[in-house]
């Protein structure tokens, strides 16, 4: 009997195993256990954020390699070359990379654009007032330079009519103090030491962006904000009055083929690091999908919209990743196995029943013609039935088919008995 059970179960198991194998060819592998992130210079907020990511992701056994660069443009070049997996990118840096297979993972926070100039110089009302002057626009390869050059050009200030100095924020500030520059573009954090130092220095003045809303309309990665009086330092009342500014958006950018699990891990870290309240953001406002320069990564969109999955909330991330893959594999295979099993069982039933009912063709023919048999025909029929009966008694069938089996034997014995009785009659 066990043999019959094996004959049912074994084909089903073989088909199930075959479907699992085929399905496994289409299930993506687990994510790599390492990632490289381009961050700009070591003194910047991107680098400090990456250090926080590294500490968080180490708990998930993901090794993070931090790659310092000259700035966002240089980081995007490394991303293009495949030397890093993810890059911190400042809004306004992506113009030369629009055709690359990049996707955005999230906006992380707002970065104010500061324009400083000497306090003894004529008041700057618009960026166009910098025409003909010496302007620090950021170091080569930096996002600050890409953005500053773009905004200045929109206001008619170019390298043809002005001197654009390729210096970073700190070197630019020193050039301002040394009277080697007339203005400095700086895109650094609100609470960065340099920001506070420049705002406190009586030799430096901050230019407000009078047309902040116009910039936010023209450039989707910019936003108009107000830096409230005293918000940076109540003791020194920094700034001394409300200042209209524009901010760009810091974002995470990856190649479009980044592993979905890496996306979710990175965004878990980003949420922990960047969801706090700040001067220009509310608690939980970041990370989000606003003001991105590249298409949103599909996995990032799902995470930012829905958060962690129920598996990730219940299990460690890598365990959840394995369980999710098993579900992706088993659920379709089980769904396919249901109709297959429904098809195999009737085929098995038909095969077993055919062992029984195929003998009725012989029995029915003899039964229909036996009344007209001659003595020789009757003897031949008896021999045929006896031979068939011997073969039937050698058939093995499951217990569930014994009733039909015994009915067949009884029918053969009944007709055989009638033929034998007719042969004995005078």
The verdict on residue 419 lying in a domain is yes
Rounded Cα–Cα distance for residues 289 and 281 (Å): 14
The verdict on residue 241 lying in a domain is no
Q: What is the pLDDT of residues 331-342, one digit of tens each?
A: 777 787 788 777
The verdict on residue 236 lying in a domain is no
SS (HEC) of 65-111: EEEECCCHHHHHHHHHCCCCCEEEEECCCCHHHCCCCEEEEEEEEEE
Q: What does each C-alpha distance from 309 to 276, 287, 296, 316, 320 come to in angstroms?
A: 22, 17, 19, 12, 9
Q: Is the bond preceding 287 in cis, omega lying within 30 degrees of 0?
A: yes
DSSP strand pairing (34-40 vs 63-68): parallel
Per-residue pLDDT band for 288 (boundaries 50, 70, 90) equals: very high
Average confidence (pLDDT) over 340-354: 75
Handedness of CA 409, 411, 414, 419 (dihedral sign): negative
Backbone Cα Rg of the chain: 41
The verdict on residue 178 lying in a domain is no
Average confidence (pLDDT) over 411-415: 82
Residue 211 has a pLDDT of 92
**Residue 44 reports pLDDT greater than 80:** yes
Residue 86 has a pLDDT of 96
DSSP strand pairing (134-136 vs 163-165): parallel
Average confidence (pLDDT) over 266-285: 89
Average confidence (pLDDT) over 269-293: 89
Average confidence (pLDDT) over 15-28: 70
* 369, 380 Cβ separation under 8 angstroms: no
Count structural domains, the chain. Answer: 1
Range of lowest pLDDT (103-117, 119-133, 181-195, 340-354): 340-354
The verdict on residue 404 lying in a domain is yes
Domain residues for the domain of 416 are 358-424
* 208, 244 Cβ separation under 8 angstroms: yes
Question: DSSP 3-state assignment of 251?
Answer: strand
Per-residue pLDDT band for 243 (boundaries 50, 70, 90) equals: very high
The verdict on residue 328 lying in a domain is no
Average confidence (pLDDT) over 156-177: 93
Rounded Cα–Cα distance for residues 42 and 33 (Å): 24
The separation between CA 181 and the C-alpha centre of its own chain, rounded to angstroms, equals 46
* 126, 115 Cβ separation under 8 angstroms: no
**Residue 425 reports pLDDT greater than 70:** no
Q: Phi and psi for 117 in degrees, rounded to 5?
A: -150, 165
The verdict on residue 53 lying in a domain is no
Average confidence (pLDDT) over 61-74: 93
Per-residue pLDDT band for 123 (boundaries 50, 70, 90) equals: very high
Please, what is the average pLDDT of the chain?
A: 86
Range of lowest pLDDT (174-188, 194-208, 231-245, 325-339): 325-339
The verdict on residue 342 lying in a domain is no
Per-residue pLDDT band for 245 (boundaries 50, 70, 90) equals: very high
* Closest by CA position to 100, among listed 299, 293, 267: 293
Sheet holding 204-206: strands in order across? 163-165, 134-136, 183-186, 114-118, 204-206
């Amino acid at each position: 009997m066990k043999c019959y059970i094996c004959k049912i179960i074994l084909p089903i198991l073989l088909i199930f195993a075959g479907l699992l194998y085929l399905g496994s060819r289409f299930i993506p592998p687990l994510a790599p256990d390492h990632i490289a992130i381009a961050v700009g210079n070591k003194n910047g907020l991107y680098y400090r954020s990456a250090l926080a990511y590294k500490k968080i992701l180490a708990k998930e056994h993901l090794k993070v390699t931090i790659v310092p660069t000259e700035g966002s443009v240089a980081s995007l070049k490394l991303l293009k070359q495949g030397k890093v997996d993810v890059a911190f990118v400042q809004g306004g840096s992506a113009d030369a990379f629009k055709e690359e297979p990049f996707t955005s993972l999230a906006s992380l926070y707002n970065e104010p654009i500061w324009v400083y100039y000497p306090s003894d110089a004529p008041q700057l009302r618009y960026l166009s007032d910098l025409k003909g002057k010496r302007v620090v626009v950021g170091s080569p390869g930096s996002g600050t330079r890409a953005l500053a050059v773009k905004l200045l050009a929109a206001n008619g200030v170019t390298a043809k009519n002005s001197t654009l100095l390729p210096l970073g924020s700190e070197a630019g500030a020193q050039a301002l103090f040394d009277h080697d520059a007339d203005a400095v573009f700086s895109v650094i954090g609100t609470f960065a030491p340099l920001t506070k130092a420049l705002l406190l220095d009586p030799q430096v003045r901050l230019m407000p962006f009078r047309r902040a809303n116009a910039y936010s309309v023209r450039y989707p990665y910019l936003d108009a904000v107000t830096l409230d009086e005293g918000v940076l330092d109540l003791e020194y009342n920094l700034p001394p009055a409300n200042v209209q500014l524009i901010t760009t958006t810091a974002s995470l950018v990856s190649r479009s083929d980044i592993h979905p699990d890496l996306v979710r891990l990175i965004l878990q870290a980003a949420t922990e690091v960047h969801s706090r309240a700040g001067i220009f953001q509310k608690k939980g406002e970041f990370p989000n999908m606003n003001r991105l320069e590249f298409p949103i990564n599909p996995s990032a969109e799902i995470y930012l919209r829905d958060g962690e999955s129920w598996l990730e909330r219940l299990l460690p991330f890598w365990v959840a990743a394995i369980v999710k893959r098993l579900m992706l594999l088993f659920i379709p295979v089980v769904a396919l196995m249901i109709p297959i099993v429904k098809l195999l069982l009737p085929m098995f039933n038909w095969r077993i029943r055919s062992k029984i009912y195929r003998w009725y063709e012989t029995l029915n023919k003899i039964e229909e013609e036996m009344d007209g048999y001659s003595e020789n025909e009757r003897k031949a029929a008896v021999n045929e039935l006896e031979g068939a009966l011997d073969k039937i008694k050698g058939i093995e069938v499951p217990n569930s088919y014994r009733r039909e089996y015994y009915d067949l034997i009884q029918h053969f014995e009944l007709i055989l008995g009638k033929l034998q009785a007719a042969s004995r009659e005078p």
